[in-house]
Copies of this chain bind each other. A is one copy, B any other.
Amino acid sequence: MGKLREPLRELAECGLPAALEAMGERWSFLILRASFNGLHHFEEFQSELGIARNILASRLAKLVEHGILGRHPMPEDRRKVEYRLTDKGFALLPAMLALRQWGERWETGIPSSPVLVDDRDRKPIRPIEVLAHDGRVLTKNDLMWVLPEDVARDAEAAE
């Protein structure tokens, strides 16, 4: 990726700041992970994560506000509220996995548990990687940043 012509001083618009606005706080990803793992209730998050109640309340509210979690009061026990991932929240799975996988590979060294598998054959998913249009795995020197207007048009049939 040294292939960049000029340093591209203008980082310009990018979804990253927006994503960080929703997910940037320290506990947000951990709450999300807990959601992915099937936890739904305030007390479950609290005791699993050991987070302070006021912080948890405020993070849950923020995640709900951003449409990442849905807040569903339970009709059969009106003390209870279920927090469940929305589609938008679910769409954070690749980001969460990529981060987790990085931590596993470069920080802890120990394989995470539980593991996400394809339920067809129960084999673990592939590591999250950067792939080319045609599926090749791309590494450092295969990559290049360009402005959208310089992107090769997709000639559908082309080869």
Contacts and interface: CB of A to CB of B under 8 A. Distances in A.
Interface of A: 1, 3-4, 6-9, 11-26, 29-30, 33-34, 36-39, 44, 48, 67, 88, 90-108, 110-126, 128-133, 135-136, 138, 140, 142-148, 150-152, 154
Contacts of A30: 16-17, 20
Contacts of A15: 99-105, 107-108, 112
B88 A95 contact: no
Contacts of A37: 4, 7-8, 11, 145
Best-buried of A19, A20, A119 by chain B (most CB within 10 Å):
A19
A98 B100 contact: no
Nearest to A112: B14
Given A20-B99, A132-B123, A34 B11 contact: yes
By Cβ-Cβ distance, the 6 closest A-B pairs, closest first, are: A15-B103, A15-B104, A19-B103, A18-B107, A95-B98, A122-B152
